[in-house]
Structure 1
Amino acid sequence: MTNRQIIVQDIPKGALSQDHFALQSVDMPRPEKGEVVLRTLLMSIDAANRSWMQGATYREAVEAGDVMATYAISEVVQSQSSRFKPGDIVASESRWAEYVAWPAHKCQKMPPVPRLENLLSVFGIAGKTAFHGLVQVGRPIAGETIVVSAAAGSVGGYVGQIGKAFGCRVVGIAGGSEKCDWVVNHLGFDACVDYRAAGLFKALRDACPAGIDVYFDNVGGAVLETTLAVMNERGRIVCCGAISQYDDAAPTGPRNLPGLVVVKRLRMEGFIVMDFAKEDAKAVRALQSWVEDGKLKVEEDIVHGLENAPLALIGLLAGDNKGKRMVRVGANPKGVA
């Protein structure tokens, strides 16, 4: 029996393409003491995957020849650790592969959920990133105006819905009129601005007549630059990602820094979801309550097949997803929804 995996064949200098990846068949992994062999069920597809190819970030860089890194939900099929037994469902850092051997202490056993996909979407990285970033960093107050970019994406959609649950006015930024309509009519945002259309500053100002109190930034670049000009004094900018910059060989940043930050006394803070791991249980309780009350719609964008992971990432960077994108690699174990 062989194991399929996808390696990064070349590190891209500009836009990512399928040619930067290669599908390989290798021997099945064997667990050493303290390790488990995991059968990959679902892989998270995130803009961060692309940033890891640009150099070391909060984790080591992905280099040419490496199996592409990911976060995954998997089934334990072999165990050399007392922590897990075959059949356990776990979450862990992983690789674009059907099977991986992984240190048991780096795996987390997952509780039962309505659908395993929820462990990557609303109760996983996407939902917890939205909650921690908005609540812990943005600190919204009822009646304030929140703006979120990539509003139709895996994190942005939850940010807006959480903001509405807090009693805020929520404005999205998305690409194209069809997505903007979906963000307003399906997700329940108060308004959504098309960043691809002309006149972004005027459109934002019209959508936010009282100014912006909290901006949740997923894209960086020109959108961040424009949004800073509409911020209220003492506003908060939550820096979650910079997807507009990841495929650019010469990334650009806002030209109005630090000027507007000083004049408007803005607070601009970056974070990653692991910063608030101690608060995860609180976040999941809140998310579960909002889902049960119908205040939070769960949106999942599922691509099937390990071989389609490169296209899934390329498409995500181009903005062709709605909701949390993931790749279904293996079937769920019998009896697991």
Structure 2
Amino acid sequence: MGNRSILLVERPTGMPNDKNFELVESEELPRLNEGEVLIQTIYLSVDPYMRGRMSGRKSYIEPFALNEVLSGGIVGQVIESKDGNFKVGDYVEGRLGWSDYNVAKSHQVRKLNPSIAPISTALGIVGMPGLTAYFGLLDIGEPKEGETVVVSGAAGAVGSTVGQIAKLKGCKVIGIAGTEEKCQYLKEDLHFDEVINYKTDNIKDKVKQYTPDGVDIYFDNVGGDISDEVIKRINYKARIILCGQISSYNATEIEHGPRIQGLLVQKSALMKGFIVGDYANNHEEGLKQLGEWVNSGKLQYRENIVEGLENAPHAFIGLFKGDNLGKQLVKVSDD
């Protein structure tokens, strides 16, 4: 039995394409040393931040090396163990390779309890995207009842969770997404107060219409022209949370937009960027609360699942085309 893996063989210029990736296969499974476990991948996560790691530029996380296995969030099952903390059959989550099988040490993975929530949620709403939404909104945004919250990229794994938590805190929530299906989901299933389709609506007019009292919190997953229009509407002591800038991840030139420093001064507003790793010491707290909200039905979620390890690059590229509603996953094997 062999082990397939996906390598990054060429750094993307602009939008990634199939030529940037290669599927390779080894004839044997990896061998274990003491203190290690062999994990069969069930789901792997594709996330927008990975595009930055493919560029080779120095950032908050090491870039991917060429001709080596890509890595990201993985949920899998232990099929062999030389670590007393894990037994065969345990479900685990960790940052591992885009491969059918991975070897890991105990500090690289956390054990999952499938009776609490479906194991796939460990890569979504009860995982890194959920924690990103939880800490970004609650710690930086500090939402208060009656405030107006705008979320861009609102139908994605992070944005949809942000909007729901804001509703739990008694806020008015406006979501921005790119298809009628996504807007309908936000409005009818997640009960956002208003939604804007940035591809068909006039962003400037709709933001003004839906925020008559201004914007208190803007959770920015997108950047670009959308953010320019939302930020024009900020209130005194507004909070702008910079989570992602997916509109510019494939840009080949530096984009220039409005200079907003004067507006931030005028409004005594806060603009702060963050990564979920900033809250590493508090992850257990966040996972516990997110799990409780999911189990009680207070948080809903969607998953967009592509079948087959070989299709992981296509799923990743689809993130930048808006193909996913909810968390984008690749199912590598059956549970």
CA contact (8 A) 1:222 1:253 kept: no
Determine helix, strand or coil for the equivalent of 2:248: coil
Alignment of 1:158-173 (within 5 A): 158-173=161-176
Q: 1:285 Cα deviation (Å)?
A: 3.5
Look up the match of 1:238: 241
Q: 1:199 Cα deviation (Å)?
A: 3.0
Look up the match of 1:2: 2
1:18-42 per-residue CA deviation (whole Å, 9 max, x = no partner) reads 1211111114212234332221111
Q: 1:323 Cα deviation (Å)?
A: 0.8
Instruction: Provide the aligned length of Structure 1 versus Structure 2.
Output: 332
Matched residues in 2 for 1:292 and 1:99: separation? 30
1:76-125 per-residue CA deviation (whole Å, 9 max, x = no partner) reads 22333333232222111111110122233222122233321122222112
Consecutive unaligned residues in structure 1, runs of 5 or more: 333-337
Matched residues in 1 for 2:14 and 2:254: separation? 10
1:167-193 per-residue CA deviation (whole Å, 9 max, x = no partner) reads 000000111333222211222100011
Matched residues in 2 for 1:239 and 1:213: separation? 14
Determine helix, strand or coil for the equivalent of 1:155: helix
Matched residues in 2 for 1:279 and 1:105: separation? 17
1:224 maps to which of 212, 222, 227: 227
Counterpart code for 2:96: S
Matched residues in 1 for 2:257 and 2:332: separation? 39
Alignment of 1:1-337 (within 5 A): 1-26=1-26, 27-54=28-55, 55-112=57-114, 113-197=116-200, 199-252=202-255, 254-332=257-335
Segment of structure 1 superposing worse, 294-303 or 316-325 = 294-303
Change (3 A) 1:252 1:235: same
User: Considering only aligned residues, what root-mean-square deviation do their CA atoms show, in Å?
Assistant: 1.7
Matched residues in 2 for 1:286 and 1:254: separation? 38
Matched residues in 2 for 1:37 and 1:56: separation? 31
CA contact (8 A) 2:71 2:96 kept: yes
Change (3 A) 1:36 1:151: same
CA contact (8 A) 2:113 2:119 kept: no
Structure-2-length-normalised TM-score = 0.93
Matched residues in 1 for 2:31 and 2:217: separation? 49
Look up the match of 1:335: none
% same residue: 38
CA contact (8 A) 1:224 1:254 kept: no
Change (3 A) 1:106 1:178: closer
CA contact (8 A) 2:315 2:330 kept: yes
Matched residues in 2 for 1:251 and 1:142: separation? 38
Q: 1:200 Cα deviation (Å)?
A: 1.4
Consecutive unaligned residues in structure 2, runs of 5 or more: none
Counterpart code for 1:157: S
Matched residues in 2 for 1:250 and 1:102: separation? 39
Q: 1:60 Cα deviation (Å)?
A: 0.7
1:105-154 per-residue CA deviation (whole Å, 9 max, x = no partner) reads 22212223332112222211222211111111111001000000011111
Change (3 A) 1:59 1:224: same
